[in-house]
Structure 1
Amino acid sequence: MKFRKNKLNLRSCRIMAPALILMVGAQPASAQTVPDPAETYTGTGFTLCIYKADPALAGLRNPVLFVEGMDLYNVRNQEELYRQFNQEGLIEELQDYDRDVIILNFDDANKKLSNSKSYVGEAIGYINANRSSISSTNSFTVIGISLGGLASRLALAESENNGIPHGVDTWISLDAPHEGANLPLSFQKFTEFFTSFPTYTPELEPLTTLLTALSKEAAKSMLLVHHLNSAHGEAALSESKRDGLVQLLLENGYPETCRKIAISNGSGLGATQPFEPGEQIFQWENPVLPYIDARMYALPEAWNQGNNQAKQTFIGIYYMVDGKNEEYTSYYPYSLDNAPGATGNMIAELYATLPYIDGDDFLTGSNYCAVPTVSALGIPIEYIDTDLSQHPEVLALSPFDEVYTAPGNDPVGEINTRTKSHIMRAVLEKADTDADGYSDYTEYLIGTDFSSALSVLTCNADITLSPLTGNASLNFETRPYTRYVISHTEALGEPWTELYTLTPATEAQYISFMSAMTNASGFFKVTAEPLFTVFDATTLQTTDFPDLVLETSPDSGINVIQSTE
Structure 2
Amino acid sequence: ISFDSPHTGANFPLGVQEYFNFFGGFAGKYSDLAVAREYRDKLNTPAASQMLISHYTCTDQLAGANPSYAWFWDSMNSYGWPTSCKTVAISNGSGYGYKQPFDPGEQIIQWHSDDGITLEIGSRIYALYKSAATAKTVFYGRFDPWDWFDLIDESVYERSYSPYGLDNASGGTRDTFQELFDQLPYKNSDDWCNYSDHCFIPTCSSLGIPLSQIEQTIHNNGSVSSLSPFDEIHYAIDNEEHIEINARNKRWFMRAVLEDYDTDRDGFDDYQEYLLGTAYNNASDKLAFSIEFDVGAASSATLRWQALANTRYDVYKAEALAGAWQYIESVELTQAGTVGRSYAMDDGATNAFFKVSASPIDPVTD
Tell me whether the two structures share a fold, i.e. TM-score over 0.5.
yes
Contact 1:485 1:498 in 2 (8 A): no
* Residue among 252, 266, 279 paired with 1:436: 266
Q: What is the 5 A alignment of 1:210-249?
A: 210-231=39-60, 234-249=61-76
Distance 2:239 2:193 in 1: 18
1:208 match = 37
Q: What is the 5 A alignment of 1:53-68?
A: none
Contact 1:487 1:526 in 2 (8 A): yes
Distance 2:65 2:47 in 1: 12
2:143 match = 318
Specify the SS of the correspondent of 1:328: strand
Q: Do residues 186 (structure 1) and 8 (structure 2) align?
A: no
1:449 match = 279
Q: What is the 5 A alignment of 1:468-487?
A: 469-487=298-316
1:134 match = none
Q: What is the 5 A alignment of 1:20-35?
A: none
Q: Do residues 543 (structure 1) and 365 (structure 2) align?
A: yes
Q: Do residues 271 (structure 1) and 98 (structure 2) align?
A: yes
Contact 1:295 1:314 in 2 (8 A): yes
1:146 match = none
2:175 match = 345
Distance 2:318 2:104 in 1: 68
Give the unaligned 5+ runs of structure 2.
Answer: none
1:196 match = 25
Distance 2:216 2:49 in 1: 26
2:214 match = 384
2:241 match = 411
Contact 1:173 1:261 in 2 (8 A): yes
RMSD: 2.3
* Residue among 253, 265, 270 paired with 2:80: 253
Distance 2:331 2:291 in 1: 19
| TM-aligned CA deviation for residue 354 of structure 1 | 3.0
Distance 1:210 1:338 in 2: 22
Select between 473-482 and 258-267 the one with higher mean Cα deviation.
473-482
Distance 2:19 2:58 in 1: 15
* 1:275–1:410 Cα change, 3 Å: same
* 1:521–1:200 Cα change, 3 Å: farther
Q: Deviations over 1:170-193 (max 9, x none)?
A: xx1111111111111100000000
Distance 2:327 2:342 in 1: 10
Specify the SS of the correspondent of 1:543: coil
Specify the SS of the correspondent of 1:337: coil
Give the unaligned 5+ runs of structure 1.
Answer: 1-171, 534-541, 545-565
Distance 2:14 2:239 in 1: 20
| TM-aligned CA deviation for residue 487 of structure 1 | 3.5
| TM-aligned CA deviation for residue 204 of structure 1 | 3.6
Specify the SS of the correspondent of 1:314: strand
Specify the SS of the correspondent of 2:57: helix
Distance 2:334 2:31 in 1: 50
Contact 2:318 2:326 in 1 (8 A): no
| TM-aligned CA deviation for residue 517 of structure 1 | 4.8
Contact 1:298 1:337 in 2 (8 A): yes
- The amino acid of 2:7's aligned partner reads H
- The amino acid of 1:297's aligned partner reads Y
Q: Deviations over 1:426-458 (max 9, x none)?
A: 111132111111111001111122111112434
Distance 1:329 1:343 in 2: 24
* Residue among 258, 262, 268 paired with 2:89: 262
Specify the SS of the correspondent of 1:246: helix
Q: What is the 5 A alignment of 1:295-334?
A: 295-302=124-131, 305=132, 307=133, 309-320=134-145, 321=147, 322-334=152-164
1:158 match = none
Select between 343-352 and 176-185 the one with higher mean Cα deviation.
343-352
2:112 match = 285
Q: Deviations over 1:508-539 (max 9, x none)?
A: 57341313055576553321112356xxxxxx
Q: Deviations over 1:142-166 (max 9, x none)?
A: xxxxxxxxxxxxxxxxxxxxxxxxx
Percent identity over paired residues: 36
Contact 2:314 2:331 in 1 (8 A): no
Contact 2:177 2:195 in 1 (8 A): no
Q: Deviations over 1:249-269 (max 9, x none)?
A: 221110111101111100101
Contact 2:138 2:158 in 1 (8 A): yes
Specify the SS of the correspondent of 1:235: coil
Specify the SS of the correspondent of 2:219: helix
Distance 1:371 1:198 in 2: 30
Specify the SS of the correspondent of 1:352: helix
Contact 1:182 1:369 in 2 (8 A): yes
Contact 2:142 2:154 in 1 (8 A): yes
| TM-aligned CA deviation for residue 339 of structure 1 | 0.5
| TM-aligned CA deviation for residue 333 of structure 1 | 1.3
1:506 match = 334
| TM-aligned CA deviation for residue 287 of structure 1 | 3.5
Distance 2:334 2:32 in 1: 47
Contact 2:92 2:171 in 1 (8 A): yes
| TM-aligned CA deviation for residue 349 of structure 1 | 1.5
Larger radius of gyration: 2
1:363 match = 193
Contact 2:27 2:37 in 1 (8 A): no
| TM-aligned CA deviation for residue 271 of structure 1 | 0.6
| TM-aligned CA deviation for residue 358 of structure 1 | 3.7
